[in-house]
Amino acid sequence: MELNKAIKNRRSIREYKTKLVTDESIDELVDSFSLAPTSCNLQLASLVLVNDKETLVLMKKHVTGKVDWTNQLFVLVVNNTINYGNSAQEISAGMAVQNLMLKAEELGIGTCPIAGFSGKSYLKKLLNVPVEFDIPLLIFFGYKKELPKNHLIVPYRADKQIILSKNKFNNFYFKSTNNLNKWTLDEILEYRKRIFSVYYPRFRHGLWRNSLNDEFKTFLINSINGDCLCYYFWESGFLNQLNDNIDLYVYDDFDEYTNFLKSKYDINISKKFDKSKKFDNIFLANTLEFCKNREDVFKDISLKLSTSGSAKLLFFNYWGIFAIFFRTLNLIGLTNSVYEKSPFYKIGPYGFIKYSEVKTYLKENNLEIVEKKFIRTNCLGDKFNNKIIRYLISMTNIIFPENIKLKIKLK
């Protein structure tokens, strides 16, 4: 296979056939791994092949549930105790892995590098890896399953002008904070474009919770008929519950996302419909937090809402336990990276919104509140297994409810 073709066709594959890759092919993969350049030619990266059922089950339980995707994988082991600086050993290992993945592509074998796993010490013990060595990556591999029709074939890649700057660094970077206010709108959109291919196709973003389902159902699904416009709409659980009477229009800044939804569900894309179209139902649920141009959203709502229609907003209460918890983590520096393990990290920077801020936007746009309710969903409590902690959180939730829902109309 032509190198260019292998480079272009290689994708991270997350669904495999059960048939095992042959020993000969595995041998070829290891060959290509070994032929990569390494710092000082020390070759301090190695692979542990795991294809034994018992080990896979243990890895699934203690390392990552993703092991379910495959029945064979490599564990990358790097001896970085010998390190001449500049992350030379890790970079060497990365180059070797890329060689292996391109070779796999040539052989018709799919791969997926996996850094999202935990239980490293356990894994080292399980595989007899010396404690001082690192395991930076798992490499899943196998024969590719046929991809679903709506699978994104080529994930978004940044513009070459962002990648390559000439003589001086072009100063584009992602802020190492998930504080929405510190990001520009362009940066947020760029971030979402990149993260999109990883999270949206499988709808792995974590906002849709069972505890919210009933609220959504009574608040929205059971109360609308006909056309509904959804802003910044990211909830698959919701889409799955929609009935045929509802014709859903989705507005989002990000075309790739709305196009993806269109391919998956039969929905309309707002940018394409008549700007003067008015809606009896407008819905905005728990996504204002990720939205930088909030004023524009409210302006738009007032333009698109029919005189007899109503818009329903659901947002995390700035004074709710959920918001307080995450703002506290932020304050003490525990969630200062966009990749931190907050339930939001999957969709990037966010900022809790104050009720007073919403009221200002409503006033500016000739909108009024006709119904307001606090919702105690125990979103945060759901995250803990410990009964006592769950109880304490649910009690605190009474004083600091997590969500606010509003029904608004044109004045």
Ligand X SMILES: Cc1cc2nc3c(=O)[nH]c(=O)nc-3n(C[C@H](O)[C@H](O)[C@H](O)COP(=O)(O)O)c2cc1C
Closer CB to ligand X, 100 or 114, in the complex: 114
Binding mask 70-109 for ligand X (x = CB under 6 A): ----------------------------------------
> Stretches 9-17, 75-83, 162-170, 215-223: which one binds ligand X (CB under 6 A)?
9-17
Q: What does each C-alpha distance from 108 to 92, 145, 407 come to in angstroms?
A: 25, 11, 54
Which of residues 134 and 289 has its CB atom nearest to ligand X in the complex? 134
CA angle 182, 347, 277 (to 5 degrees): 95
Stretch of residues binding ligand X (CB under 6 A), selected from 10-18, 159-167, 304-312, 339-347:
10-18
197 binds ligand X (CB under 6 A): yes
- Residue 174 CB, shortest distance to ligand X, in Å, is 15
Looking at the Cβ atoms of 64 and 281, the one nearer to ligand X is 64
> Closest distance between ligand X and the C-beta of residue 226, in Å?
38
Q: Which is closer to ligand X, CB of 12 or CB of 263?
A: 12
Conformational region of residue 33, where left means phi above 0, alpha means psi within -120 to 50, and beta covers everything else: alpha
Contacts of 249 (CB under 8 A, 6+ apart): 227, 228, 229, 230, 267, 268, 269, 270, 273, 279
* The one among 12, 72, 259, 337 contacting ligand X by CB under 6 A: 12
Which one, 98 or 241, has the nearer CB to ligand X? 98
Nearest-Å Rg of the Cα atoms of the chain is 24
Residues 104-163 that bind ligand X (CB under 6 A): 112-116, 137, 155
Using CA of residue 340, residue 343, residue 346, residue 352, what is the dihedral sign? negative
Size of the site for ligand X (CB under 6 A): 12
Tokens for 326, please give them.
């995450």
- State which amino acid sits at residue 211: S
In contact, 375 and 402? CB cutoff 8 Å? yes
Here's the x/- map for ligand X, 21-60, by CB under 6 A: it reads as ----------------------------------------
How much of the chain is helix, strand and coil, in % rounded to 5? 40, 20, 35
Length in residues, the chain = 411
Query: Which residues are at the interface with ligand X (CB under 6 A)?
Result: 11-12, 14, 112-116, 137, 155, 197-198
